[in-house]
């Protein structure tokens, strides 16, 4: 493997891990409610921007990061309570518009609360590149990959071993049946927004030292995360992670070897090609339609 | 006779014609005319989009792409290559229809969120090509466009454009209403409620969806071409994802499966940002709040909700009279 290839691979994995975290957020909410939350990208923005301003007032990372994640989670819970819950039985199009409206609202609010400038965040531990097989990796990228891995492990434990996680999983399989065995499906929906907002915020905090952050970073990250979730198959956790990593690697490789001008378009070309041949994504459920 | 007038096909069309004819009485200066022209152009796009979303039940989050292709196609052919604007418009429209026909078939096989993703992706790709290929499109800076002329007659000024766009809007509404009342329209509504059900009774769902997708792309493209000539300038903002969202919001705000709803939606949501222009920093927040609020409180959209209210009032009145008698 040439050093250049290794370099693209490492960069791609880092970006892909971020897409994976955003895609996991999409999947968790989709499973609980069959809603695609187009405001997912805004949680990423809130995580990064809140950390920037908390650090600016003098808080150490150890306090600023949990506070920023909690802020995003609260916004997520509020979004569910005040925008999604009142329209619970509405059509797919209606819910898509509500969450897009919410994303515009949050972006507009962020522009007022903060500003329109780009903000950099200091890396968590230094910025001296580490050499691997002729390529280099930033310590921050190691953080991105490590934290993503830890979150994937924690989530699989949560959904496989805890009562609440199993309740969420049960709700995703069959809402009515879950309700019948005594699961509070409304609470599941409520909490799923908090959980996926927290995941988005973590992604936003991890990536901010590498790419900087601003009030509108959520748009592209949200769309790419959605693309990753679709690529993996909506609602599949492992699909979201693999979809994110594949998207990140392919995007970086094609930007490096083919054309960097079309870097952002590549994700969408992949998505269209995949959907044309696999209309339910790589790991999505294939099902018939009831009349 | 009265019943005939009350039907949307004639009565509604006459009412719209009357509004267009009388509106200049309150349009005080060219700024007002300008907003009215923008409303008309957006309304034409929304009527087409409503056929797709409201009647056929297929969402598109990428229609700004077709609008943008229309705008840039006309701009490039007429301004860079000196084509007559009418020829540029026709060639562009044909090309967009062909593109919609080719990509529509695989895209429309998808459903729900997957369809939303695919149309969104298509729109984003068109946006990126337009903002990157700056040799032709001027890139992020945009491109200036020559005025529209037919023979020796030059269309210029808000007032002339007002009447042109007003007439085209009436044509668009008439076409849409006729399509909806035709066997095709009934087939579309059937496949909206159940595609499998529609196929069982012999409707070719794929053909019908594709047809309405192409029609809606053509409406968007023509409005895009005219808009480019009218404003004399196009930037990639007109092609962006956000513009696609604005178009869908107009359709849903006005009322799905209501042609006049699409017109009302376009009118309200095109005018709103103009009213908010003094609070520019709050514009995005307010727009977002309006989207959420309408969907929660008027999920059927403004026009169908009001029509329902009006009808229940009338039937209540009739009940009262019957009781008194």
Range of the domain at B194: 30-275+283-309
What share of chain B has pLDDT > 90, as a percent?
A: 42
- The total of structural domains in chain B comes to 1
Confidence of residue B7 (pLDDT cuts 50, 70, 90): low
pLDDT per position as a tens digit, A126-144: 778 888 877 888 888 889 9
CB-based burial label for A289 (10 Å; 0-12, 13-18, 19+)? exposed
What is the enclosing helix (H) or strand (E) of B250? helix B241-254
Contact A265, B124 (CB under 8 A): yes
- Is B24 inside a domain boundary? no
A2 backbone dihedrals φ, ψ, rounded to 5°: -75, 150
Distances (CA, A) of A277 to A161, A186, B55, B59, B94: 35, 36, 27, 20, 27
Q: What is the pLDDT of residue A148?
A: 93
Q: Which run of H or E residues covers position A213?
A: none
Contact A227 B197 (CB under 8 A): no
Q: How far apart are CA A178 and CA B316, in angstroms?
A: 43
pLDDT band at residue B4 under the 50/70/90 scheme: low
Of B146, B172, B155, B148, nearest to B41 by C-alpha is B172
Q: Which residues, 6+ apart, have CB-to-CB distance to A75 below 8 Å?
A: A42, A43, A46, A106, A197
Does B65 map to a domain?
Answer: yes
Say if B130 falls within a structural domain: yes
In this structure, is residue B293 part of a structural domain? Answer: yes
Question: Is position B235 within any domain?
Answer: yes
Give the Cα separation of A92 and B177 in Å (integer).
Answer: 25
pLDDT, one tens digit per residue, over B257-291 is: 888 999 999 999 888 888 877 777 787 888 888 88
> Model confidence over B236-248: pLDDT tens digits?
988 988 889 889 9
Q: Of A227-236, B210-219, B251-260, B277-286, where does the model show the most confidence?
A: B210-219
A235 to chain B: closest CA residue: B113
| pTM exceeding 0.90 | no
Q: Would you state the structure tokens that stand for residue A148, as one six-digit string?
A: 């993503």
Q: Please give the mean pLDDT across all residues of chain B.
A: 87
Q: How far apart are CA B175 and CA B180, in angstroms?
A: 9
Contact B98, B162 (CB under 8 A): no
User: What is the band of B87 on the pLDDT scale with cuts at 50, 70, 90?
Assistant: very high
The per-residue pLDDT for range A67-103, each reduced to its tens digit, is 999 999 999 999 999 998 888 777 777 888 899 899 9
Residue B4 lies in a domain: no
Number of A/B CB contacts below 8 angstroms equals 136
Categorize the per-residue pLDDT at B130 as very low, low, confident or very high, splitting at 50, 70 and 90: very high
Residue B216 lies in a domain: yes
- Helix (H, G, I), strand (E, B), or coil: what is residue B59? coil
How much is the pLDDT for A40? Answer: 93
User: Residue B229: what pLDDT?
Assistant: 94
- Give the model's confidence band at A244: pLDDT under 50 very low, under 70 low, under 90 confident, else very high: very high
Out of B121, B249, B289, the one facing A272 most closely (by C-beta) is: B121
Mutate to test the interface with A, among B99, B130, B288 (most CBs of A within 10 A): B288
Residue B70 Cα distances to B165, B219, B254, angstroms: 16, 10, 24
Most confident of the following: A22-26, A159-163, B131-135: A22-26
- The confidence band for B318, taking pLDDT boundaries of 50, 70 and 90, is low
Tell me, rounded to whole angstroms, the distance of Cα A44 from its chain centroid.
Answer: 7
Whether B62 is covered by a domain: the verdict is yes
More confident residue, A258 or A9: A9
Rounded Cα distance, B154 and A217, in Å: 44
Instruction: Say whether A100 and B291 touch across the interface (CB within 8 A).
Output: yes
Look at residue B45 and tell me whether its pLDDT is greater than 70: yes
- pLDDT score, position A120: 85
Q: What is the pLDDT of residue A182?
A: 87
Domains of chain A: 3-277 (1.10.3470)
pLDDT band at B164; cut points 50, 70, 90: very high
Q: What is the CATH number of the domain that holds B126?
A: 1.10.3470
Two tokens at A41? 């990208």
Least confident of A197-206, B95-104, B312-321: B312-321
Which residues in chain A touch residue B194, judged by CB atoms under 8 angstroms apart? 289, 291
Q: How confident is the model at residue A256 (pLDDT cuts 50, 70, 90)?
A: confident
- Tell me, what's the pLDDT at B279? 73
Give the per-residue pLDDT at A291.
45
Please give the backbone phi and psi of residue B299, each rounded to the nearest 5 degrees, phi first.
Answer: -60, -20
Q: Which of residues 222-281 of B touch A (CB under 8 A)?
A: 241, 245, 248-249, 252, 256, 281
pLDDT of residue B52: 93
């Amino acid at each position: 493997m040439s050093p250049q290839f290794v370099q693209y691979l490492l960069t791609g994995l880092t970006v892909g891990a971020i897409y994976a975290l955003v895609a996991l957020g999409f999947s968790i909410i989709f499973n609980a409610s069959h809603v695609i939350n187009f405001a997912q990208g805004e949680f990423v923005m809130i995580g990064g921007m809140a950390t920037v301003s908390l650090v600016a007032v003098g808080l150490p990372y150890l306090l600023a990061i949990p506070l920023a994640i909690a802020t995003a989670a609260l916004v997520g819970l509020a979004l569910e309570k005040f925008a999604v819950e009142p329209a619970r039985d509405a059509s797919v199009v209606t819910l898509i518009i509500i969450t897009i409206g919410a994303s515009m609202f949050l972006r507009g609010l962020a522009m007022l609360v903060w500003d329109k400038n780009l903000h950099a965040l200091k890396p968590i531990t230094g910025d001296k590149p580490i050499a691997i097989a002729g390529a280099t990796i930033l310590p921050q990228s190691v953080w991105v990959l490590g934290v993503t891995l830890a979150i994937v492990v924690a989530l699989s434990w949560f959904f496989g071993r805890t009562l609440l996680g199993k309740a969420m999983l049960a709700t995703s399989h069959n809402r009515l049946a879950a309700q019948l065995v005594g699961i509070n499906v409304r609470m599941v929906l409520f909490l799923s927004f908090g959980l996926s907002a927290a995941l988005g915020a973590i992604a936003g905090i991890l990536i901010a030292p590498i790419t900087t952050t601003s009030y509108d970073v959520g748009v592209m990250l949200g769309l790419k995360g959605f693309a990753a979730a679709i690529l993996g198959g909506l609602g599949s956790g492992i699909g979201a992670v693999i979809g994110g990593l594949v998207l990140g690697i392919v995007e970086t490789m094609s930007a490096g070897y083919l054309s960097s001008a079309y870097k952002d378009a590549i994700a969408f070309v992949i998505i269209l090609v995949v959907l044309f041949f696999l209309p339910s994504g790589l790991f999505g459920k294939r099902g018939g339609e009831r009349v | 006779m009265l019943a005939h007038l009350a039907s949307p096909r004639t009565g509604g069309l006459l009412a719209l014609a009357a509004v267009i004819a009388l509106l200049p009485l309150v349009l005080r200066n060219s700024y007002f005319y300008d907003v009215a022209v923008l409303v008309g152009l957006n309304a034409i796009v929304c009527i087409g989009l409503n056929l797709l979303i409201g009647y056929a039940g297929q969402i598109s989050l990428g229609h700004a792409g077709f609008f943008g292709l229309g705008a840039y196609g006309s701009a490039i052919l007429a301004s860079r290559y000196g084509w007559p604007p009418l020829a540029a418009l026709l060639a562009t429209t044909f090309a967009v229809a062909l593109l919609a026909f080719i990509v529509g078939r695989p895209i429309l096989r998808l459903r729900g969120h997957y369809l939303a993703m695919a149309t969104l992706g298509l729109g984003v790709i068109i946006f990126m090509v337009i903002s990157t290929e700056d040799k032709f499109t001027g890139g992020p800076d945009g491109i200036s466009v020559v005025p529209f002329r037919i023979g020796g007659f030059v269309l210029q000024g808000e007032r002339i454009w007002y009447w042109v766009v007003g007439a085209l809007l009436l044509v668009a509404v008439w076409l849409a209403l006729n399509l909806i009342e035709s066997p095709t329209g009934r087939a579309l509504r059937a496949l909206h409620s159940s595609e499998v059900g529609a196929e069982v009774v012999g409707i070719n769902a794929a053909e019908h969806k594709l047809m309405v997708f192409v029609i809606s792309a053509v409406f968007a493209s023509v409005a895009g071409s005219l808009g480019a000539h009218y404003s004399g300038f196009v930037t990639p903002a007109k092609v962006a994802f956000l513009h696609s969202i604005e178009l869908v919001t107009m359709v849903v705000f006005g009322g799905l499966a209501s042609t006049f709803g699409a017109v009302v939606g376009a009118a309200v949501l095109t005018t709103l940002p103009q009213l908010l222009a003094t609070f520019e920093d709050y514009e995005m927040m307010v727009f977002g709040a309006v989207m959420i609020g309408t969907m929660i409180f008027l999920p059927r959209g403004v026009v169908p909700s009001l029509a329902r209210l009006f009808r229940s009032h009338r039937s209540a009145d009739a009940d009262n009279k019957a009781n008194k008698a």
